[in-house]
Structures are given as structure tokens and as C-alpha cells.
Amino acid sequence: MGRGGSFLLSLVSVALLGVQAAALKQDCYGATVKISAIHAQHPDEPVLEVYGYPSAIGRAIPASPTGSMHLELAAPPHACAAVSPPALPLSAALVSRGECDFVQKALALAAAGYSAMILVDSAPGCVFMSANDTAAAGALEIQAATITAVAGRRVRDALRASPAGLDVGLWAPAPRGPDLAGPLLWALAVGCVALGSALAAAAQRRALDAPPPKDSDSEAEGPRARADPGFVVSRVGAGGFVVVASTLLLLFYYLDDDWLASLLTFVFMAACWSPLAEALAAAVELALWRAPRLRASLNDPASLPLLGPVGLLQAVSVVATVTTIEVWREHRDAGWAWAVQDAMGAALLVSLLRTVRLPDLATACILLPLAFLYDVWWVFLQPLVTGGPSVMVEVAGGGAGGPRFPMVLLAPTPGLGDNPAMAILGLGDVALPGLLVVLTWRWDVTQRFLGVRPSHYGPCALAGYAVGLTATYAALRVGLFGDAGQPALLYLVPSTLGTTCALAAARSELGRLWTADVDPESLRSGGGPAGEDVEQGREALLAT
């Protein structure tokens, strides 16, 4: 794929990144409720155990067994009308999904005298029962949990095979082992920003140190080709980000989930394959750093039909990448697929940070505050204004059992069964602040090239990103603003942009950073014709 196509896919991905709420746990994809069934007349003989999913409806499910309830099939099965009362005072109803909303089912069962509702999904996967009015739903005197269609068939079969009936117990046991999802996502996100910044800074250094071409006609053939500026985000583009991202978010919320998930999966795969192939090739070269001859032989081009000269390492990395992505597509719901998705997302992020650039601090001060307001609106304010659930949280978490969108980093949290819950971090929460961090590193390299005293904006911005992400997960841990999710940009924008602006203001350099152009070609020309003395570029930069 050409660089133009890669940039286009990267930009599409950036727009899609913004729709993801950060630091959210997809509980629907990790069972936390244990449902144990026993024979009613022989309580010492367990029949089966299935794992279920929690609900925002009704009383909290206890952390330890508190007794059993008689299990009955709801009549009617969907519990969308008046429900027949249970045969025993303490009973749980097995309910089919569909025909009415979850709260209506819970109200009908509670009115009939049931103590618990076990909802059986009607499609593969799982469903997380939600409600528009969470306060009213949570006040219902009934426990509620969901089980998959497969688990529901097992329970129904066991119920039919037991003439005396079954008793069930519901509890939410403590997680097994420490929850390392937050630290893992933190390390992955900070690592991507650090690596992308280092690669961008190295490219800036090479472009500045290389000799300029002798004349414009031989520029492409000289010892140094013109520095590739990548894609530069304009101020108009930065201002339009929130409009584009909000439009996409609403489309994702209202359009058909399955169709949309397929489209986004295709876009994600197309955007990731080139960065992942480059990353695999670079990893092999790094592993062979002590074998220069072997490394050189792997890069020797061989002429292939229709493709022309292609190096062996390049060909192998492309084949391995296509295979990896296809395996991920076929098995993306498997318990191990999160690691492959993270590798794909990390490669995309690093490539994006290398090639998409903010030209100056002024553009960053447009993009990041708007992204900050976008996050705050769609996570906090929009639910208050509309009285419904957060559109961003619903889209990021797949809604009530809807498909998961791939533009996220994932890490498993402790849970029950083989399908763990996933903590997620939107790629936009890495890429958007990361663009500012990259800008500060390029500024530091430029300062050293021009002989100006070291500024250390880059390390400070990177440290600010790490601190902001730490604050995000700390807020999630203590349940600040509720436990549905934390908009990471609420913490990351002040910690990165605020740190950079405060440091520049303290050094009386805010004006220089505001409009300074650190593009190597601009510095070499000093704002005039190409080839003028670098000193003019230095004077132009210091004069801004």
C-alpha cells in the first residue's frame, strides 16, 4: 500500500479512535455471577454450574452464597405481560429475552412475587441488561443476571430432567488473582507514545543532520531526499475533529450494529496491516543486530512476478502479517485474541505518531481542548441532558450485548469461565495526546540542532501523559463520577497540554512554541528560498 493510502487509512482510524470511551470495563464479556443449580429434594447433589453476567437492574448480587431459590420457568416465557405467581415464596424465574425491555420484565416478575430473574439470551454471545433510568431500575426488589443461550439450554434441560425441580443460588465471588489490566494498558499506552516519540525524534534528527541537496533539480537523487513531512494537521482540521467524531459516534449508535462492526473491522485491518508488517520486519532486524551479513542477505531484493524487486524479509513479514490479521478476524472473540488486537493497535499507533504531525502548539491548543470537551460531553453531560445512557459508553462497550468495536486496546480482568471481562482504552486516548508529545520531542531535537539550550519539553510531556493516565485508572478504581467509564482525555489533556504550556510560560517561550515551525525544510530555508543558510532558519525560529 502506498504512503498516501496509509495516511488516508490512518486519518480514518484517528476519526474512529475518538468515539471510544476510555478506561471502561466490558462486563458483558466477562462472567462475574456464579449460578449453581441443585436438586430441590437432594441439596447435596449439585446438578450444574453456569456463569452469568451482572445487571444494572435490581438489588446487588451478594459476594457469597446466601441460600437457594426455587427455579421456575416464567409464564409467559418472555415475562412481558402479567406473570403467573411462583409456586414457592422464594423463587427465581428463567426468562427468555425479547418482546419487551429488561425493566418491564423485572417489574412483571417482581409484581408476581419472584426474588430473582435469570435472563436467557436469544442469540450467540452475551447481553448486559441496562436501563435508561438506572436509579429506578436499581431500586427494584429483585436480583437479575444474564446467561448465554448455551447456558440457558443446559439449565432448561436440567430442569426438565428433574421432576422435583431445581434450586439455584446466585452470587458474585471475588475475582481470582490481582487485576493487572490497568497496569498492562498503562504500560502499553505509555510505551506506544514513548516509542512513537523516539522514532519521530530520530527522523527529525536525521533530516536536520543530512546535507542539503545541491540544487532543486537533483534533489531526489542527492545524498538526502527531501524530508517526508507526513500528514500535517491543519488548524481547520483540528477544529473539525469534534464535528466529525461526534457525527461518527451518532452513526455508530443508531446504525445496524452487525453491519457497522463488519465495516469498522475491515477499516481497522486495512489500517493495521502495513504498520504491523513494518513492525515485524523491524523486530527481526533488531533481533539480528549481531548478524549483519544475515540481516543484509534478508534485505537483498529478489525479482518476483508482478511485484518486482522484493526483499525476503519484506515478503516474509507481509505474509506473516496477513496471516496474523486473518487469524485475528476469524477468532477475535477467543480468550487470547486480545493480545493480537493489542499488537495490531500498537503498531498502528506508533506508525500514526510517526507520520501524522501537529505543526505547532497553537494547533494542539485547538485539537486537544476540543477533544476534551467532546469526551466530557458524551460521557457526562449528554446523559444528563437526554436522560438516557451515554452514547459513547454504549458504543465503546458494544451496548447491550452488541458487537465490540476494534479501535481499542484490551486487557483481561479476573473473572469466571473462559471469556474474561476486558478493560479497554480507546486508541484515540493514546494518539491525540501522543501527537502533542511527539511535537515536543521534535522541538527538543530542533533546539539542540540550532544550538539553543536544551529545553526538555519532550520528557516533561511524556511524564505528563503517564501521570494523566495514572489519574484515569485511579479515578476508575475509586469509582469517581460513577463506574460506567472514565473519559481519559479529562485527565490527559491537562496533564500533557497543561504541562507543556505551563513549562513554556515559565521559560518565557510560549510565544515561540505557539507558531514555531520545526519542519526541517522550513528551518533550512529560513522562510526563504531553499538552500539558504541554516542560521537564517535559527534566527527565524528564535524570532517567533
Q: What is the CATH number of the domain that holds 160?
A: 3.50.30.30
What are the cell numbers at 157? 434441560
Residues 162, 185 share a domain: no
Instruction: Please check whether residue 288 lies inside any domain of the structure.
Output: no
| Backbone φ and ψ of 107, nearest 5° | -65, -45
Q: Between β-strands 166-171 and 69-73, what pairing exists: parallel, antiparallel or unpaired?
A: antiparallel
Kindly compute the dihedral angle of the four CA atoms of residues 494, 500, 501, 504, in this order, to the nearest 10 degrees.
160
Q: What is the DSSP string of 208-261?
A: HHSPPPSSGGGGGGSSSPPP---EEPPHHHHHHHHHHHHHHHHHHHHS-HHHHH
Instruction: Return the pLDDT at 460.
Output: 97
Cell numbers 505474509 correspond to what residue? 319
What are the cell numbers at 327? 487469524
Instruction: Please check whether residue 306 lies inside any domain of the structure.
Output: no
Amino acid at residue number 469: L
How many domains does the chain fold into?
Answer: 2
Within 8 A by CB and 6+ apart from 448, the residues are: 454
What are the cell numbers at 416? 469466571
Instruction: Please check whether residue 317 lies inside any domain of the structure.
Output: yes
Could you tell me the residue range of the domain that residue 491 belongs to? Answer: 3-27+178-214+225-280+311-543
Whether 406 and 263 have beta carbons less than 8 Å apart is answered as no
| Backbone φ and ψ of 128, nearest 5° | -110, 115
What are the cell numbers at 335? 480468550
Residues 7, 118 share a domain: no
* For residue 76, cis peptide bond before it (omega within 30 degrees of 0): yes
Cell numbers 447433589 correspond to what residue? 45
Instruction: Please check whether residue 290 lies inside any domain of the structure.
Output: no
The whole-angstrom distance between residue 48's C-alpha and the CA centroid of its chain comes to 36
Residues 406, 276 share a domain: yes
Q: Which residue stretches of the chain have pLDDT < 70?
A: 1-31, 40-45, 124-126, 132-136, 138, 212-229, 256-257, 302-310, 396-404, 417-420, 479, 481-485, 521-544
Distance, in Å, from the CA atom of 338 to the CA atom of 332, rounded to the nearest integer, reads 7
Q: Between β-strands 24-26 and 421-426, what pairing exists: parallel, antiparallel or unpaired?
A: antiparallel
Amino acid at residue number 180: L
Q: How far from 221 is each of 10, 96, 225, 226, 319, CA to CA, in Å?
A: 29, 70, 7, 10, 32
| Backbone φ and ψ of 86, nearest 5° | -70, 160
Instruction: Please check whether residue 120 lies inside any domain of the structure.
Output: yes
Choose among 209, 215, 212: nearest CA to 226: 212
Distance, in Å, from the CA atom of 434 to the CA atom of 461, rounded to the nearest integer, reads 9
Instruction: Return the pLDDT at 531.
Output: 38
Judged by DSSP in three states, 110 sits in helix
Residues 202, 104 share a domain: no
Summarised one tens digit per residue, pLDDT across range 408-436 is: 899 988 777 666 678 888 898 999 999 99
Residues 232, 322 share a domain: yes
Write the Ramachandran bin of 304: left for phi over 0, alpha for psi from -120 to 50, otherwise beta.
beta
Residues 335, 459 share a domain: yes
Last residue of a domain, one of 171, 189, 204: 171
pTM for this predicted structure = 0.77
Instruction: Please check whether residue 297 lies inside any domain of the structure.
Output: no
Residues 186, 232 share a domain: yes
Instruction: Please check whether residue 14 lies inside any domain of the structure.
Output: yes
Summarised one tens digit per residue, pLDDT across range 90-108 is: 999 999 998 898 889 999 9
**Terminal CA-to-CA distance of the chain, rounded, Å?**
39
Residues 230, 332 share a domain: yes
Choose among 117, 118, 116, 122: nearest CA to 99: 122
Whether 162 and 155 have beta carbons less than 8 Å apart is answered as no
Instruction: Please check whether residue 304 lies inside any domain of the structure.
Output: no
Distance, in Å, from the CA atom of 18 to the CA atom of 475, rounded to the nearest integer, reads 20
β-pair partners for 52: 33
Distance, in Å, from the CA atom of 102 to the CA atom of 62, rounded to the nearest integer, reads 21
Instruction: Return the pLDDT at 265.
Output: 86
Distance, in Å, from the CA atom of 521 to the CA atom of 537, rounded to the nearest integer, reads 9
Within 8 A by CB and 6+ apart from 198, the residues are: 441
What are the cell numbers at 414? 479476573
Residues 521, 440 share a domain: yes
Whether 387 and 396 have beta carbons less than 8 Å apart is answered as no
Residues 378, 270 share a domain: yes
Instruction: Return the pLDDT at 296.
Output: 76
Q: How many CB atoms lie within 10 A of CB 221?
A: 8
Judged by DSSP in three states, 400 sits in coil
Last residue of a domain, one of 171, 191, 206: 171
Distance, in Å, from the CA atom of 54 to the CA atom of 50, rounded to the nearest integer, reads 13
Residues 530, 468 share a domain: yes
Q: How many CB atoms lie within 10 A of CB 400?
A: 18
Residues 71, 41 share a domain: yes
